Structures are given as C-alpha cells and as structure tokens.
Structure 1
Amino acid sequence: MSKIVFFICVVGLLVPATLVAKVEKVTLKGAIKGLGNEELILMNSDRSEITRTKTKNDHFEIVTEVETGDLRYYILYAPSVGPLGPSMAIPTIHFFIDSPKITVVAELKDKQMRLKSLKGSPGWEEHNRILESLPSSLTIQKVYDRYNQAFHEYNEVEQTEENMKELKAASHAVDVLQGQRREEIFGLLPQYTTSMPFAVIISSYFGIDNIDEAEKVWNQFDPSIRHCYALKQLENLIQRGKNCAVGHEAPNFELITSTGGKIALSSLRGKYVLIDFWASWCGPCRREIPNIKKIYAEFKDKGLQVVGVSIDSSDKAWKKALEEENMDYLQLYDPEGITSKLYNYNGIPFIILISPEGIILEKGLRGENIREKITEYLK
C-alpha cells in the first residue's frame, strides 16, 4: 500500500503529493548469473543500506518499502565481489524502482557485475529508449570495445610504442564520441522538459565546473517534475556551487592533522592558503605533489600556507603515502569526505587558493598554473 506524503509548493503551484513522494511496498527479484550463494545488499542512492539478503544459486528476492515516485537510482551491492569505492572490480548494479514489481537480470564475470535487463520499470524503458534514439548509439559499443582492447593490449600484453599509439587513438575516439553524445542529449532538452528519465540522463553531465549551465538547464524543466531525485540533486549542486564560488568566503572545516591534533581552516587567516585535496590512490594527485612541494619551498616565507587534505578512507594508506612523499607542509585527514560536500568537488586533485581574508581566489589549479597564480597575488 502506498503512503502519500503531504503537498508541496513549487513556483507558486500546489503539486499533489502523489507526484512528489510515494513510498510503497515493492518486490525486487531476479538473478545475478555467477554470484552463487552470496550476500546481496540493497542500497539507496546515497549508499545507505535498505536491507540485505543472500542469493541462492544466483537468485534472490527482496520485499521491502522504498520511495518509488522520484526516479532515484537504487543499488544492489555484492560485498564478495569487491569493496565500494575505487577498484578494478565492479560489485554494484544501478537501476530504478518505480513500480511495485521489478525483475533484475545481471551477470558477474571477471569480478564485474553487469545489468543485462530490468523489467517492470517504465522509467527504465524510457531512459533506454531515449539513449538508443541518439545517433551516437550506433557506434558507441564499437568505440568502447576498441578502447578496452587497446587498454588491455598496452597494460596487460606489451607496452610497445605501437600499442600506446593505438591506445591514444582509441582514447581520442572516446572523447569525440562523448562530446557528440553530449551535444545530442542537450539538443533534446526542449522535447523532454516533463521527462524524469531525461532529467536523470542530462543531470549526469554537471559538476563543479559548469554550475551556471546547470542552473540554466534546471530552470527549463517543468515544475511538475522538480521533485525528481536527479533534479533535486542538481538543485543542491547549484546551491553548493554558489556557496563556494570564487569571490565567496571559503567554507570552514576542522580536520585531524598528521600528528593527531585538530585544526580549523579559519585559524589560518592572515596568510594565503593553497589547499590540495588528494588521496593516496590517485595517480594524478601523486604526480602533482612534487610541484606543490617546490611551490611551498619557494613561497612559504612570503606569506603562503600550503595544506594537503587527504580523502583516503584508510588511515594506514594515508600515513604510508605521507612517508613516501615526504611532504613538509600541513597535512589533514578527511575520511568522511566533509570537504567534498563543502567545496563541491567530485574529482581530485582539486587545488584552490584562498586569500588572507578567507576569500576563494582560484579553483581547479594544476601544474605551472599554480605558481603563476600565486605569483600574481604574492608580488
């Protein structure tokens, strides 16, 4: 039985709760070929656990109550396949639950779970229909197969000049395809301003670097579907982006230091502060560290404080990286990802510069551009 939740007011219009929130009892069943008899966890979009079960000869059935009215992604996670987070394993599949009966068919192969089909979801059907209507859909599989093969040949077979050349060409083809696909999707927006599946698709293209464009797109969707989970997340992204935009006061945080104490960002007022958000497992982050060390050595006596903020989930991995990199500037630890929410970043390294008054001056700095910007301010 459905539970109807309130009425809400959107842009001055009363929208019935049946279009906004709908928590109901659902039956989720299916099979994950190759999983066998293992634990399976149903999670919300934020990875919070809803319930868990155990598969029997690949098959499972879950009966529970979930939100079905906002077209959010749900996640099935098999811990035996691998951990959540960065890994070569893919222990999850993502899908919609927007009707009382959903049937999942998936496959586990080479430590990677793949969704093969989803039955009973009107939203999933429309989502796939839209993507399949794109001209780029005719070549997408071929392009990605070429890239995967080139990646395998270079990294697993032999690192020859010829294999690297093919990998670069395949990578370029992927970039071109992604650009084409983006243009096709954005071109469809006027036709789908009342489509939640389309909102899910286009919302995935936005991050911290294009907040203004995100707001323009969000404004084009009809108020009747702004309860859609993807649009609510996009609205939140826009607001967070504005709160930590260049020219705004840097959001304060307090984190653990490498020596076990605690320090707040606000305590560093009076100096220019360069913050590098990084992690031990991030290759580009590690490659940027020598450059940051040089910058710190050059400007530390001229009014610059450098801060490294690790988002490692493992304290052991973080401390091991600190020893290996021998960084002599302030190091802080953020295993809960507090700063990613405050500063709206979803990729690392993410490097920002803050004024002595605590105002964000620059964001997304990399390489030589870091020194150039610091030099502009510390003349």
Structure 2
Amino acid sequence: MKKLLISLSMLLPFFVSAQKGYTLSGKVPQLKEPAKAYLAFYKDAAWRETDSVEIKNGKFEFNGNLAEPQTAIIAIRRSGAQQSGKQNDYQSFIIENSKISIEGKDSIYNAKITGSVAEKENSEREAMIKPITDKIIHLQNFYGKKDQAGVYQKSIEDRKKAGDSISKLVVKIKSINRQFVENHLNSFAGLLAYSTHVLDSKFDPVDAESLLHRFSPELQASPLGQSAINRIEIGKRRQQGAKATDFTQNDVNGKPFTLSSLRGKYVLVDFWASWCVPCRAENPNVVKAYNALKGDKFEIVSVSLDAGKDSWLNAIKTDGMPWIHVSDLKYWKNDVAVMYGISSVPQNLLIDPNGIIIAKNLRGEDLTDQLRKFIKP
C-alpha cells in the first residue's frame, strides 16, 4: 500500500498539469483575407483536424485539455487561397497544457511559437541537427546529379565516398539525439525524441528498454511511455535468440501458409514490397542465395507489404523469386509486419530449424556467404 501511495504521489504532478488545459493564442496582424485557423492532431495513424476558428482582426484562440503533450499542426486557410497562393500555410509544434503564443505577420509558416517548454526543448534539438542535415542534403544533391540521359555525372567512386560521408553524418545525428534523450529524462521532449529516434525501425530492445526505465515514472506511465513499452515488447519478437512468433497468411494462390510448417529447416523471413526500391535492388542477391542454398535445409518466405495483388505478383515474376510468398495486401498494416514491429523495408529474420531467430537483416552481394555462416551442414 505504501509503495502504491508513493507511486501515485510521483504521478500527481503529471496529472495536475494535465488538468490545467491549454490556451493557444495566435496573432497575424497583416493577414488581409478572410481566413480560419485549424488545429490538427495525429490520431489513428493520420493527421486529423479537431478544431477550427475564424480569424478576426488578425487574432484567433484555441482552448482545450491534453492528457499529455503531443505534436500538433496549426494551419491557416484563406477564403481566397488559390488567389493568395498560400494554401500550405502551416507549422507543426509540440502543444502542452500551458499558455502558448503564435506570432507572425501574415502567415503561420514562419510564425514564432512560445510558451511550450516541450516545443522549446525540441527546437533546441532540431537546431543542433539542422547543420548536419543540410550537409547530407548538399552531398545527396551534388553527387546524385544526373544528366539529361539519366546518367550520374559523378563517378561511382565519388558517389561511394559521398555515401560513406553521409553514413558518418547519420551516425552523428543518432549520437546527438541519443545524448539529448539522456539529458532530458524528465521531459516530454526527451521522451518524444526517444520514441522517434531511439525506437527507430531497427532498435535494440534490450538497450531501448534499459534507457526507457531511466525516464521519470510519470513519463513512463504516460500514453507515449506506454506506447514505447508496447513497441519494445513487439521488438523483442524479432530479437536474436527469441522464438519466432508463428503466423499464418495467404500465399499467391490464396491458400493459407503457416510458418511453423517449415520447422526443421533454416528459414529466411524476408519483409519487402514491390514499390520498395531498395527491396527490388536487393532481390538479385536473395535470388542468388536461394539458388545456392535451396533444398531440404533452407527455405525463404517473403512477406509483402503490398496493397495490390497485381503489382505484387508482377514483381515476383519480374524479379524471378521462386520461393514462398505471402501477403494480406494491407500495405504497412500487414498483420505479420505489425506483429514483428516492421516499420521499414527491406528487413529479414533468419530462423533456425528449432524456430529460434539466429540473425537478422542479412543482405548485400555476399548474402550467400553470410547465410552459410549460420546454416550448419
């Protein structure tokens, strides 16, 4: 009982804060056209407008209450938007239960947002990353130029060096994000950065869980914290050493296929899609590995994140992939992908004859040799 009271007392500041509500006051004094301001939140995997108000004399105001801070979009739509050419006048920010001011001239796009501690902290993080992101964009644009015939203007050696430089810059960004998280363990901005940049598409569940436990109890108990816990639990399903979660999904002929039916073989479960350019570029390596290793001890099961059957089947035929293919044609909501927490493709899992995940994300021109290291005679 005493422990429960202590836990509730630690959560109390969070809940008290959540009860105060927010006031979002906007000023765009030079706005001439009749217009409305719109407030949108990200819900159910989509941005949804939840409130709107007329802008009068260049001013508008929103009031509400949040269970926790969250990312929002504030937008202006003018009655004569086509004539004004400002249809895309919006800005994203972190809204929280406080008095928040948005001040611009005749636009929201470059308006200054103050009053949200989480927004201020997140802006500081973004400011540290922006110079590095600018360098990446410059390298991509400079070394990725093509002539009118579609041929790269820079040599493959120069493009490889640029690619190596970009990889190092990406690592630097990850380091900055990680450090920001570790310095903001009592801040929603820290938890948001954790959820976005530490829990990326290929995070390590053990490391991620250890870091999450360092956040304040109230943040761990928040909706975003609970979502992070759920994502970590899902991530454990694709962790090396974990028993592969079984699944059943229809093959290209509409017949149910069950993963455990291949028990006794090494199985490469490959997540891909016909629309995924890196996947299609990797497919020749997978085909080569399959032809070298296929038999009684090895099989491939490709799980497609396609939404249309024709494009899925055409890609299988075009790329010459003669193994097992399954899909429920639900795009990113493919049941197997969701179950394993797959949020980017290509990705793969290598499962041993006992149904244990022994490797993941093996790819490249030496894929066959990589697989041979795990597949015992």
TM-score for both structures, normalised by structure 1: 0.71
Structure 2 counterpart of 1:286, one-letter code: R
Instruction: Give the structure 1 partner of residue 371 of structure 2.
Output: 373
Aligned residues: 347
The alpha-carbon deviation at position 350 of structure 1 amounts to 1.0
Question: Larger deviation: 351-360 or 275-284?
Answer: 351-360
In the alignment, which of 315, 320, 328 is matched to residue 322 of structure 2?
A: 328
Describe how 1:328-367 pairs up with structure 2 within 5 A. Answer: 328-334=322-328, 335=330, 336-367=333-364
Q: Determine the C-alpha separation between the residues in 1 that align with 2:334 and 2:269.
A: 15
Equivalents in 2 of 1:95, 1:326: separation in Å?
46
The answer on whether the counterparts of 1:43 and 1:77 sit within 8 Å (CA) in structure 2 is no
* Closer, same or farther: CA 116–223 of 1 in aligned 2, 3 Å: same
Contact 1:147 1:167 in 2 (8 A): no
User: Aligned in 2, Cα 1:288/1:174: closer, same or farther, shift over 3 Å?
Assistant: closer
Structure 1 spans left out of the alignment, 5+ residues: 1-7, 79-89, 107-112
The reply on whether 1:73 has 2:71 as its aligned counterpart is yes
The offset of 1:377, in angstroms, is 2.5
State the match for 1:215 in structure 2.
Answer: 209
**Deviation per residue, 1:163-183 (Å, 9 max, x gap):** 766655554444333333433
Q: Distance in 2 between matches of 1:52 and 1:71?
A: 15
Report the CA distance between 1:274 and its aligned residue.
1.5
For residue 273 of structure 1, what is the aligned residue in structure 2? 267
Q: Can you give the 5+ residue segments of structure 2 that lack an aligned partner in the other structure?
A: 77-87
Distance 1:25 1:145 in 2: 37
Q: Is 1:272–1:353's contact at 8 Å kept on the other side of the alignment?
A: yes
Q: What residue is the counterpart of 1:150 in the other structure?
A: 142
Which of residues 216, 231, 235 in structure 2 aligns to 1:241? Answer: 235
Kept in 1: contact 2:54–2:60 (CA 8 A): no
Structure 2 distance, partners of 1:92, 1:263, is 47
**Aligned-pair identity (%):** 21
Contact 2:118 2:187 survives alignment (8 Å): no
1:206 is matched with 199
Residue 340 (structure 1) shift: 2.8
C-alpha change, 1:148 and 1:377, in structure 2 (3 Å) is closer
CA distance in 2, matches of 1:202, 1:344: 16
Please report the RMSD computed on the Cα atoms of aligned residues, expressed in angstroms: 4.5
- Structure 1 residues 128 and 376: alpha-carbon distance in aligned structure 2, compared to 1, 3 A threshold: closer
Looking at structure 1, the residues matched to 99 and 314 of structure 2 have their Cα atoms a distance apart, in angstroms, of 48
Q: 1:356 to 1:224 in 2, by over 3 A?
A: same
The one-letter code matched in structure 1 to 2:220 is R
271-280 vs 201-210, greater mean Cα deviation: 201-210
Determine whether 1:123 maps to 2:121.
Answer: no
Please tell me whether the aligned partners of residues 272 and 279 of structure 2 are also in contact (alpha carbons under 8 angstroms): yes
Pick aligned residue for 2:308 from 303, 311, 314? 314
| Bigger-Rg structure (1/2) | 2
Q: Does 1:288 align with 2:286?
A: no
Query: Is the 8 Å Cα contact of residues 76 and 92 (structure 1) preserved in structure 2?
Result: yes
